[in-house]
Structure 1
């Protein structure tokens, strides 16, 4: 099924299917009710150290992406949550939307996760 990404601050739509928050930290100023997420996989988010180093700097995104993929390969908790996402893309007969809090819609961990999930579906 198709994988989409969307900011948590945007209005949820039924067509988005299963909404999964992929941030390690709950989005600032967002209530659980307003977020309308089905799951929160906080362990899949980048480590605190990587997040702080990246600091949403688009110039660092390629290096962030490589380091984040390395984390996903080497961290058991992150691997487990990535496997959940992979399973959900196969099991569910509806769309999967990765929800994130970052302002930058092109340079964040949801983009990296979508790329990984899209590759598995080919």
Structure 2
């Protein structure tokens, strides 16, 4: 299974596979047609509290990743992770300006385990 992480603002590519938006909010200024999102599992996004904590200042990405993994261990999230794994090749889409230091990278790693 191949899992990619890309910005949702980048144009879709044939090798994207299933396109999964992993942000809680719809990306600003992007139409649904342009985004071509196949799945949008909002329950897999970081909680509002965790998101606010991480963006409140100089916070450790490693600590954010640890806390996010703990949230994903909840039964509902674990079920959704299994459902996503069953989809096969996919691209996780985020509006984050730094996808490599976002929740999408943590989620991609967990999906590949």
> TM-score scaled by structure 1?
0.84
**Root-mean-square deviation (CA), in Å?**
1.7
Following superposition, the deviation at residue 77 of structure 1 comes to: 3.0
Task: Give the SS at the match of 2:101.
Answer: coil
Unaligned stretches of 5+ residues in structure 2: none
1:5 aligns to 2:2 (yes or no): no
Report if the CA contact (8 A) 1:56-1:107 is conserved: no
> TM-score scaled by structure 2?
0.90
Alignment of 1:73-88 (within 5 A): 73-74=73-74, 76-88=75-87
Following superposition, the deviation at residue 79 of structure 1 comes to: 2.3
Number of residue pairs matched by the alignment: 113
Unaligned stretches of 5+ residues in structure 1: 90-94
Find the counterpart in structure 2 of residue 30 from structure 1.
Answer: 30
Following superposition, the deviation at residue 59 of structure 1 comes to: 4.6
Alignment of 1:42-61 (within 5 A): 42-55=42-55, 59-61=59-61
Q: Which stretches of structure 1, 4 residues or more, deviate above 3 A after TM superposition?
A: 56-59
Distance 2:29 2:82 in 1: 29
Task: Give the SS at the match of 2:86.
Answer: helix
